[in-house]
Amino acid sequence: LMDLDIVTEPIPHLPEGLILPERANVFMTDVFKDGWFEVQDGSSQKVAAFLEVEPGMKVIDACAGAGGKTLHLAALMQNKGQIIAMDLYESKLKELKLRARRNGAHNIDYRVIDSTKVIKKLYEKADRVLIDAPCSGLGVLKRNPDAKWKLQPEFIDNIRAVQAEVLETYSKMVKPGGKLVYATCSVLPSENQEQVQRFLQTENGKAFQFVKDEKILASESGFDGFYMALLQRK
């Protein structure tokens, strides 16, 4: 990027991250097309490392979407082992396949969650599971300021129910001794710390122990508001 006269600066506490002090169209560069980097918010970049993956592991990204965190996990695993990228929407996984091809990430398998069987087949199979849960998105108001006018109270109630169900179901894919990260781009305790505490009281949640969590506020970090919690299956 320096050779292309695109100025970047390192980011404290994000060893793999660079920030562009001035806007530049990096997507048109050959280095992007050759998969040398991806563009991702600084808070999101913390999540893959929080999962404590190692090369050779079996890792599930249970809400992969278009796969920014999946690709980061593949890099941290040095393309060794297996990542299963799952999502409800096949279109998102198709986008991830294109990005993975560009990145040279070839340790990723793709599964559309079109029935409960897809999850049940993976019960107690994964060393690590990432649940980047659906949420209110209140951590990204800096980028989407109009969201605060569109959010309805009933939507937040519904999304909390979805989060509880996802955590309950997807956590069963963690093998004994394995680890789970629950993450949201929200700053509401009811979607974050309280959701984790509620899960740990459930029958399935009692098999896990809380290890650590991190809350990131946009007002302090300059990046998205985010929450992540690391749990370990006993």
In a shared domain, residues 30 and 128? no
pTM value > 0.85:
yes
Domain that holds residue 21: 1-37
pLDDT tens figures, 65-112: 999 999 999 999 999 999 999 999 999 999 999 999 999 999 999 999
| Beta strands 82-87 and 108-112, pairing class | parallel
Candidate list 105, 173, 185, 187, residue with the active-site label: 185
pLDDT tens figures, 195-230: 999 999 999 999 999 999 999 998 889 899 999 999
In a shared domain, residues 20 and 115? no
Active site residue 63: no
In a shared domain, residues 143 and 196? yes
In a shared domain, residues 63 and 131? yes
Would the pLDDT of 147 be above 80? no
What is the per-residue DSSP string for 163-229? Answer: HHHHHHHHGGGEEEEEEEEEEES---GGGTHHHHHHHHHSTTGGGEEEEEEEEE-HHHHSS--EEEE
In a shared domain, residues 43 and 33? no
In a shared domain, residues 3 and 118? no
Residue 125: other Cβ atoms inside 10 A: 15
Mean pLDDT score, 1-8? 93
Q: What angle do CA 27, 24, 223 make, to 5 degrees?
A: 95
In a shared domain, residues 131 and 156? yes
Q: How many domains does the chain have?
A: 2
